[in-house]
Structure 1
């Protein structure tokens, strides 16, 4: 009996020692993994935008100069650093750009990159868009671009490095800064136009009951446009939140218009109440909400969706949600039907999937 008890005590002690060794091993492995993959846990995610602070070189795109910009220019931004092998655009980005160039032939289209790399001449999308005389690919240096603007200190302090979504937040910054500098129209790279802007000026569109969209913005160079532009860039600089995805985009323009229109209620933002600034309803650019984004890819409800968007100026396909959803060439998926009509040259590059 005594030997049995001694054996049991030894057995338990041995098990405890094994458990302790296993715990130590697990803690060690976890720490090694944590240190080795610190970028995953680095909320700033600054490695995603390091190219924004690099200088251009001989093979870089031409740098944007103020003298080539006109008041009715249309701007797109590609703020990722995924261009080590040359500046590229995917088919859907190309579609957005072509639709703007196709429907607004008298407007200069500027596709602006922060990556100081060269053009990938093997990119069929770039070559196709280059056939439009009003499409211009340009590089901008973030630091010099912000010089002598309300956002200069924000850029030089590299506060953008604190963002959880630095690529998106840089895009937010650039749209407001560019319209502050030049006026004109900003569009997201997942907005397909279906109608010309013609003589439209000083306008935005509703995204939801509680927010104005920042996916399309037009600020004129008149007194009203400059007032809105000033409000937005100063709001961005003074109220920036790196841990809130929408606060620095839709949030900025929503707060600016709440001041201009003297109301917090978006449904009350009429042209009269907003000093002449136009706030288009949700159907104008966001006829399908982000919650229903799959409608653009659903052949079964194609007729219903196409009828719904019939009077829209453009559509937003909610790339953050839809980017991995396939459009089959030849299908009746609404996005494919729209692309085939409004960006025909880029869409023709898609052989099987768009």
Structure 2
């Protein structure tokens, strides 16, 4: 499992949310803090016993920090008491009465793809969240609502690295309501060590997690999405894609890649069959070319792997659309009509021309949240993203408080 230290801010949020277990566990921590402050005061005011009080203070500081670490990591332990034989998902066409039936631990099913697809259906789209605390921004919930609503025949599985109880359902009314009222949205926890187990990335990812090389949550997500599709097959999509059409025509391709411009692949939306040899090539190249200091390192490896495997440029592959029917390469208009350097087009007010131009040729808007995340506007904005959002995620807009 991945371990994270809990900040004082996260601890206070946990307590404000009245999570009883958190309050019980942190009582000792705050007691240590008070005692530490006492000895700090004595240390500063009593020169005769300065070194004694200093030693006691430092010891208490170390103990309190370790206790804080234990509090957080204990909350990230996933309950593995999961009976695969009795596991059953609600696949009815009416909203589930009890949303717990769609909240489960994926770990025991990682090596049973047949049972997984028997329960969730042929077409499954995964989303992954690796950064605690697991709470969704309003814009992400909006994108999720559009994905769920326009793809009712497809199972949408949000995967959290850690217990889904930490996901923050109570803190986001829009997401809570979406879980209650949809029948194809699932929330699942998973053990990272089991996702990477028996893959070409097992030793690489495992050792880099232990030595702190995989510090960026995005890098961990990049590797997990490949391992997940290697084991189960299906598609992966980023949380910052606003979907405006049904994705079935793309999902039926089974093995597909999308671009963020005419010459570069992107891993924000892609799909592979279980044990795809093409995916194996991408995984091996990602391991070989990984650079911890380069944010899009894994994305770049996709391009390198493809050109090495097929001896052609991405631009040529996009023109062909597919390689002998085995793997499909879709142009950037599919989900990235505004390329990464053009993301502001989505948030420019009165830019109705762009919206009208792409609405008939795209399946969605990649909002490039790493760039646009701070561009929060009124939900009645005339910018293309907000025009589409009011149409395709109306309930999230309504519950967002007026800005998204």
Residue 207 of structure 1 aligns to a residue in which SS? strand
1:42 is matched with which residue?
A: none
1:299 aligns with 2:349: yes
> Aligned in 2, Cα 1:180/1:71: closer, same or farther, shift over 3 Å?
farther
- Residues 238-297 of structure 1 deviation map (CA, whole Å, 9 limit, x = unaligned): 33221221121x223222322343213523442454553211112121111222211211
1:214 aligns with 2:240: no
Residue 113 of structure 1 aligns to a residue in which SS? strand
Residue 293 of structure 1 aligns to a residue in which SS? helix
- Residues 69-104 of structure 1 deviation map (CA, whole Å, 9 limit, x = unaligned): 444100111110124xxxx22211112222221111
Task: Give the aligned CA root-mean-square deviation in angstroms.
Answer: 2.8
Instruction: Find the partner of 1:264 among 300, 305, 313.
Output: 313
- 62-71 or 155-164: bigger deviation: 155-164
1:74 aligns with 2:136: no
- 74-83 or 294-303: bigger deviation: 294-303
How far apart, CA to CA, are the structure 2 residues paired with 1:268 and 1:173? 24
Residue 340 of structure 1 aligns to a residue in which SS? helix
> Aligned in 2, Cα 1:208/1:52: closer, same or farther, shift over 3 Å?
farther
> Aligned in 2, Cα 1:323/1:257: closer, same or farther, shift over 3 Å?
same
Residue 310 of structure 1 aligns to a residue in which SS? coil
How far apart, CA to CA, are the structure 2 residues paired with 1:78 and 1:111? 7
Residue 216 of structure 1 aligns to a residue in which SS? strand
> Aligned in 2, Cα 1:53/1:281: closer, same or farther, shift over 3 Å?
farther
| Structure 1 portions without partners, runs of 5+ | 1-46
- Residues 273-326 of structure 1 deviation map (CA, whole Å, 9 limit, x = unaligned): 455321111212111122221121111323333323431011101101111112
1:44 is matched with which residue?
A: none
Normalised to the residue count of structure 2, the TM-score between the two structures is 0.67
State the number of aligned residues. 298
How far apart, CA to CA, are the structure 1 residues paired with 2:278 and 2:311? 13
1:55 aligns with 2:55: no
> Aligned in 2, Cα 1:265/1:68: closer, same or farther, shift over 3 Å?
closer
How much has 1:164 moved relative to structure 2?
A: 7.3
How far apart, CA to CA, are the structure 2 residues paired with 1:323 and 1:165? 20
How much has 1:52 moved relative to structure 2?
A: 12
Instruction: Find the partner of 2:282 among 226, 232, 241.
Output: 232
How far apart, CA to CA, are the structure 2 residues paired with 1:150 and 1:210? 27
Question: Which has the larger Rg?
Answer: 1
- The answer as to whether partners of 2:123 and 2:234 remain within 8 angstroms in 1 is yes
Residue 143 of structure 2 aligns to a residue in which SS? helix
Normalised to the residue count of structure 1, the TM-score between the two structures is 0.76
How much has 1:184 moved relative to structure 2?
A: 1.0
- The answer as to whether partners of 2:354 and 2:384 remain within 8 angstroms in 1 is no
| Structure 2 portions without partners, runs of 5+ | 1-68, 82-99, 110-114
Residue 215 of structure 1 aligns to a residue in which SS? strand
> Aligned in 2, Cα 1:351/1:159: closer, same or farther, shift over 3 Å?
closer
